[in-house]
A and B are shown apart, each in its own frame.
Chain A
Amino acid sequence: MSVVSVQIGQYGNQLGSLFLQNHFCNENTENSIYFRKTKAGKWVSRGILLDTEPKPIETAVKVARKTGFNYPAIVRRFGGSSNNWALGYNCDAEFLHDTIDVLRKQCEKCNSIESLLFFASLAGGTGSGLGSHLVEEICDIWTCPIVVQSILPFASGEIATQSLNTILTFNSLFECADAVILADNGLASDLARRIHRVELPTYSDLNTVICSGINRSLALRRSTSSLIQCTTHAHKFFHEFHVPHLAQKALQFDSSTWNGLSSQVERMVVSGTKNPFVIPRNYDQVSVFGNFCVGYGQGSENIGETLKGIHNTRSIMSEYSWGTEKSISCCSSSSSTLIPLKRQLDVAESMFLNSAYLHHYYSHGLCEEIFNSAFCNIEYLLGLYDL
């Protein structure tokens, strides 16, 4: 059972390559999920790299070669996407066909595909625009399940058009993706400062923090399909966290018990906080729609029992211990998952109703109708999440 990874755009390539690097160092078997061995005996990734700018791909390839594997399938164009969803979406049809061809070849080399794993950002141009178009095409032509890992931008703003891009991407993902795991830049920087004690975190620190959770959730053989089993038609957006979240130096001194860890997980899932060190003031009952946990370490069969109390939980156990003696990693879909999206929607609606920045989108083929329908769909989605 293999997973083909697709890394799109600057964020996608940076995070995806870190993800595969960590995976490669931790797991090296013949029937690996994300890698395969070529006839020459070298390890290559099963996935593809995709971008409209040369730098992220070059960095990813360099880093991978140092670690010991290679990327056989790269599709690139030049020109960039100027933080414009419309430009990413309406790239030329030839580019898209080339990508799907390359992806098909990579998939044919796998024995059986569990799912496709996309890494793309929500606020940029390539990851969001090109990513959404690709997801839509693949959803039409193949029946393969699609899992997307995305990142929400800083609330204080990195890009002027980030809200519009986020809403348009969410619109596509809502219809076509099977599961979406969301990470958050603001939260990751918070964790980096508090736990890893990095005073002034850089983007690579944030990527490390985010990756540490996602690696654990998606490392095992049936992770993505179990994740998809936790979804329903609309409740397919997850946020992920793992306990215990410790700094590098403290890992060897950890002494948590299964009871302690699973009660932490329960608290976080039920109260909707993502930061394990924040004790929620009021236990507002958030509705939990789906929950997927992976336990690592000896004696992890018990957590299946403790967490069954939470609605719609699937869990997998593994004897392998990742970092600490015992750890649990959890992807949970609850009504607190889409709170950041609500804010982005507000800002995007203000911008649209004041016609700000719209000429960039209209000059590349979008029209008012698409925005209108995107806003309506997202409002509907937020309604389903009780927001």
Chain B
Amino acid sequence: MPHELINIQVGQCGNQIGNAYWRTLLKEYSHFNEQSGSQTQYTDEMSSLFYLPQSQTRDFSFEKMRARAVLVDTEEGVVNQTLKGSLSSLFEPAQIVASNSGAGNNWAEGFHRYGPEISDQVIEATRIQLECCDSPQGFFFLHSLGGGTGSGLGSYLLQDIRDEYPKITRLTMSVFPSRESDVVTSPYNATFATSKLIEHADCSFCFDNEALKNRVTADEAIAKRQPDKMISSAAPISPLTKSINEREKRPFKHMNGLVVRCLSSLTSGMRFGGELNVDLGEISTNLVPYKDLHFILPSFQFVPDRRLNASIQSTFFDSTSYLYDCQPSRECFLASSLFFRGNFSIFDINTHLSSIQKKISIPYWNENVFKLGLTNFTGFKSSDYHKRSVLGLFNNTAVCQRFDQCINDFNRLYKRKACVYLYENAGMDTHDFENMRYSVERVSETYREMKVRAQGHESEEIKIARARFKPLRR
């Protein structure tokens, strides 16, 4: 299947999420191959994310496949772990670009120092990947916004790849830092990285460490109360018997599992068959009404039998289903899309959605508001509870709530010029600080304006403008 996706994992968070993603994909595909009874391990379905290197065209086993990915980091820790672990056969040395000194949680180090140094190698690695593709659909950037490498180097690479390959869609899965993050400079890093995302990304899926942590805790609490339901919000195959202490000590593993689940549901429409297939281009066309407002909030729920209505409602309105820290219910949904995995009927879904349409606030000009995707294959061996799931992707004005918080934290630090010398040493000056803050403020302001405008009705000027289309009556 020729829609190929190239993953670019930048920084510690990006690489960890990426590794969890590849593991999950391998399990999914092996389960799928079992079900569909295919003889070989590398099947056509996998060609959008894996490929066989030239010399190995006869051998269709998992060991000979390579992932379509480029791994970038400024420290060797995570990348070395990957190379030693079970995924080592998926990556060739040309796909890995690593340096050794780290970026010190400093956006400017990542952007101004490592950017120019490493970017040639990364562009070379992506070029090799693109040569193995028939028709590339897009680039997926996995990174966090609070650190140094993921945010700084990630932004530089985004810019570079846009210059090099302007026609290929760039999608990012960006993880915002939580407010109680132990990294002092995270508001600076997040603001600078967001301003670059506004400029260079086609579509950004926003996650938030705070919301992910809350979701893991909430799911655990439900699991304690109802252990028979096998609810594990974490990495899909982790058994419930792991102790609670371990989850508290290493929550990132389970948080990454949530992000991976979203990523897998998003791409499942392209990878597996179903009634309504949705590819990346369609996602970005339907969810992005205005060029700057391309920040999408993911929300995920499992759908037990006969609970379709409740699940859809909670996907839209419950702030606990969202993997981004916000209060969506009183905000305006500029565009929404739902991706269903499992056995659903289009008619059922349409009925529930028409009742939701009356409750949510949508702009009057976007009545055709829901984009749907249906895939049959769920993804992993699991209990009845996990058989069906829905992923909601919403372009909701609530995204600006977090941006505003970020700007407030930024201002609090910047007023005292705290830590500014670190950025100035790496090559930035106060103009950069202020320009980038301004661009984030501007987008936040535009979202708020959209909310207000959308709640109103068609204005007089628009009514008059409509009349000029009418033919002159004789």
Mark A residues whose CB is within 8 Å of B.
Answer: 53-55, 78-84, 87, 125, 153-154, 156-163, 189, 193, 199-203, 347, 349-351, 353-357, 359-360, 372, 375-376, 379-380, 383
B427 at the A interface (CB under 8 A)? no
Instruction: Tell me whether A356 and B347 are in contact (CB under 8 A).
Output: no
User: Hey, which chain A residues are within 8 Å of B347, CB to CB?
Assistant: 189, 193, 199-202
Complex-state Cα separation, A347 to B365, whole angstroms? 6
B291 at the A interface (CB under 8 A)? yes
B277 at the A interface (CB under 8 A)? yes
B289 at the A interface (CB under 8 A)? yes
Complex-state Cα separation, A162 to B286, whole angstroms? 10
What 8 pairs between A and B have smallest CB-CB spacing? A82-B281, A157-B368, A200-B345, A350-B365, A78-B135, A160-B286, A78-B2, A356-B289
Known contacts A78-B134, A83-B282; decide if A375 and B371 are in contact (CB<8 Å).
no
Instruction: Tell me whether B290 and A355 are in contact (CB under 8 A).
Output: yes
Of the residues A83, A193, A201, A351, contact of B366 by C-beta under 8 Å: A351
> From residue A372, how far is it (CB to closest CB) to chain B in Å?
7
User: Hey, which chain B residues are within 8 Å of A54, CB to CB?
Assistant: 1-2
Please, what's the 1-or-0 string for B392-422, where 1 marks a CB less than 8 Å from any CB in chain A?
Answer: 0000000000000000000000000000000
> From residue B388, how far is it (CB to closest CB) to chain A in Å?
14
Instruction: Tell me whether A357 and B289 are in contact (CB under 8 A).
Output: yes
Of the residues B285, B291, B345, B348, contact of A161 by C-beta under 8 Å: B285
Q: B256-308: which have CB < 8 Å to A?
A: 273, 275-277, 279, 281-282, 284-291
> From residue A80, how far is it (CB to closest CB) to chain B in Å?
5
Instruction: Tell me whether A80 and B458 are in contact (CB under 8 A).
Output: no
User: Hey, which chain B residues are within 8 Å of A379, CB to CB?
Assistant: 469-471
User: Hey, which chain B residues are within 8 Å of A160, CB to CB?
Assistant: 285-287, 289, 335, 366, 368-369, 371
User: Hey, which chain A residues are within 8 Å of B471, CB to CB?
Assistant: 376, 379-380, 383
B350 at the A interface (CB under 8 A)? yes
Known contacts A156-B354, A201-B347, A350-B458; decide if A82 and B284 are in contact (CB<8 Å).
yes
Complex-state Cα separation, A54 to B44, whole angstroms? 12
Minimal Cβ-Cβ distance residue in B for A162? B368
User: Hey, which chain A residues are within 8 Å of B469, CB to CB?
Assistant: 349, 372, 375-376, 379
User: Hey, which chain B residues are within 8 Å of A349, CB to CB?
Assistant: 466, 469
> From residue B186, how far is it (CB to closest CB) to chain A in Å?
32
B346 at the A interface (CB under 8 A)? yes
> From residue A55, how far is it (CB to closest CB) to chain B in Å?
7
Instruction: Tell me whether A360 and B285 are in contact (CB under 8 A).
Output: yes
Most buried by B among A202, A353, A375: A353
Of the residues B134, B285, B350, contact of A357 by C-beta under 8 Å: B285
User: Hey, which chain B residues are within 8 Å of A200, CB to CB?
Assistant: 345-348
Instruction: Tell me whether A156 and B290 are in contact (CB under 8 A).
Output: no
User: Hey, which chain B residues are within 8 Å of A199, CB to CB?
Assistant: 347
Most buried by B among A125, A156, A163, A376: A156
Could you show 10 A-B contacts with beta carbons less than 8 Å apart?
A: A55-B1, A82-B284, A83-B281, A156-B353, A156-B357, A159-B282, A161-B368, A202-B347, A203-B275, A379-B471
Q: B59-93: which have CB < 8 Å to A?
A: none
User: Hey, which chain A residues are within 8 Å of B335, CB to CB?
Assistant: 160
Instruction: Tell me whether A82 and B285 are in contact (CB under 8 A).
Output: yes
Instruction: Tell me whether A159 and B368 are in contact (CB under 8 A).
Output: yes
Complex-state Cα separation, A269 to B234, whole angstroms? 59
User: Hey, which chain A residues are within 8 Å of B288, CB to CB?
Assistant: 357, 360
> From residue A5, how far is it (CB to closest CB) to chain B in Å?
23
Of the residues A81, A351, A357, A359, contact of B281 by C-beta under 8 Å: A81
User: Hey, which chain A residues are within 8 Å of B354, CB to CB?
Assistant: 156
User: Hey, which chain B residues are within 8 Å of A359, CB to CB?
Assistant: 290-291
Given pairs A80-B279, A360-B285, 16 additional interface contacts (CB within 8 A): A80-B3, A80-B137, A82-B281, A83-B285, A154-B350, A157-B369, A158-B371, A159-B286, A160-B371, A161-B286, A202-B275, A202-B346, A353-B462, A356-B363, A357-B285, A360-B288
Complex-state Cα separation, A149 to B363, whole angstroms? 32
Known contacts A78-B3, A157-B368, A160-B366; decide if A353 and B465 are in contact (CB<8 Å).
yes
User: Hey, which chain A residues are within 8 Å of B286, CB to CB?
Assistant: 83, 159-161
Complex-state Cα separation, A147 to B365, whole angstroms? 33
Minimal Cβ-Cβ distance residue in A for B345? A200
Of the residues B290, B348, B372, contact of A356 by C-beta under 8 Å: B290
Minimal Cβ-Cβ distance residue in A for B344? A200
User: Hey, which chain B residues are within 8 Å of A380, CB to CB?
Assistant: 471
